[in-house]
Structure 1
Amino acid sequence: MTADTDALRSHWTHLYREHLPALAKARDPVQKVWPVYLDHCFARIVLDNAVGVTTPWTEVIKAPAVKHMSTGQLEAAILMAEGLANGEVNLREMDERSLELRGKKGKKRKTEVAEGNAAKRSKRARETGKGRTVDALSGEVELPDASSKDKQHEVDMSVQLQRIANSNITTFRRQMLTLLCEIPRGRYSTYQAMSDYITKTSHKTCARAVGSAMRNNPFAPQVPCHRVVAADGTIGGFNGHWGEQGKFASEKHRLLYEEGVRFDSKGKVKGPVFREFKM
């Protein structure tokens, strides 16, 4: 297993488990119709078309696919998934082709009905603030959006600030980690925004220095370094690795998504940068 293969597997996993379902749930206009919402449905569609091609993918490679795909198959799956995410590939057409390969074209699938009902229940629960919902097919718990009044995931930042103050780390790193505690749940900032604030109020620094100071955050995720992304809106670094190809990019996406932060079809974060630091 090579580092390149690991990176491809991580990127593929992020695309079908998080990125495409997030676009579907948001009804992103990149696709006119989102016939599916769940991660395993996106995996089926992409793998049937990119790996199986003329037959269901399960007849070409063993399950779980991510462990048995070759580098070429991973690259083909990623290319198609990215095409779906940016609108270059038509999801409905690929879904119909996948169903045809499986002898299900034109049939009313129970899974599609269940997906639609699960999505509606999830939306109602988020709107009414009733908390968690359970996915009808996978059984996985879906967390409410950050707009919910539910405070069960809030972290007591006074405790984290005390941990930082008592830690045996450099003054600059303490300053960076303390700033992180000011970024609210459901918001994000950038390395550049933090650098600009420090330069204006304390001493000259740069985005690279800020990133380095957070590279090994001993208090993550309670001290939320995952809420800081690159200046261009892309995912940035996490746990010592950089970008979408980074080993822990999927984990950073998961943390941000659970807090209500969303990315568009081009992989750029949505919403304004948090700059209201007061330290």
Structure 2
Amino acid sequence: MANIEEMRQRWTYLYKDFLPMLAVARDSVQERWPVHLDHCFARIVLDNAVGVDRQWTEVVKQPAVKNMSVAQLEATIRLAERIATGDVNLSGLNERSLKLRGKKRKADEATYEKRTPKKQKQDVSTISSYFVPSRASPGKDGFAQAQSEPDPTNQAPSESKVSPPKPLDMAIELRRIAESSITPFRKQMLRLLCQVPPGRYSTYQAMSDYITKTSHKTCARAVGNAMRNNPFAPEVPCHRILAADGTLGGFGGHWGENGKFANKKHKLLHDEGVRFDSRGKVKGPPFREFYQ
């Protein structure tokens, strides 16, 4: 490989972005994805490629990325790439890593692959957030001020069930996001968008609540700004994010029901099964089942 700094960057990308991306998308290269967090992938690869017969922290000082030798970096990169291509079994490597540490599989790791699909299969209508433009209509100016979300208990029940279209292969979209040059925060927001399934909607407030709880403090406006000029729309479904008060929100650089592209956004949502009442308010609670 090239110089050691490029190797460090490659290793960081593989465990921090690429492998978690494949796990979230449940890519078929692995029969099971027992872990999905970046630090879990780092543990598995480092234990098996650097620690070998013991946990890696007994061989290399922390942080590993700065203290590994060229040979150790080559070994970690090689093993991470083999996981990504399915040449080695991730579950087996995970079990071996945990055994070296005298641990059993964590409950969240053991149940992750069962839990995630159940959330994605829920068929509930959705609420709204701000403006994120489609690929055909590059974004222009900003988002409206965040408003408090409506009480789901006051919203009308969904109409007759509509079978949402077959979901796209989000592994492709997640790979495009990971390999893009946009900021890490924007990547995080777009990855969350990929988790909102057809027939559902969410709000920027719901997304910012999740980020604040699990990662770092943020707000609905920051989330909306991070999603501005979505270069991967409509495959990365920004149209599923509506205004926080349950109305249509923005689309294509225009706001509200009188916006230039309001009909297009309504059609996209209607085709997926999302319904609005006579007041222009979306029916049903917002999607909140995000996961890292």
TM-score range normalised by the length of the shorter chain: 0.3 to 0.5
Q: TM-score, normalized by length of structure 1?
A: 0.46
Output the TM-score relative to the length of structure 2. 0.44
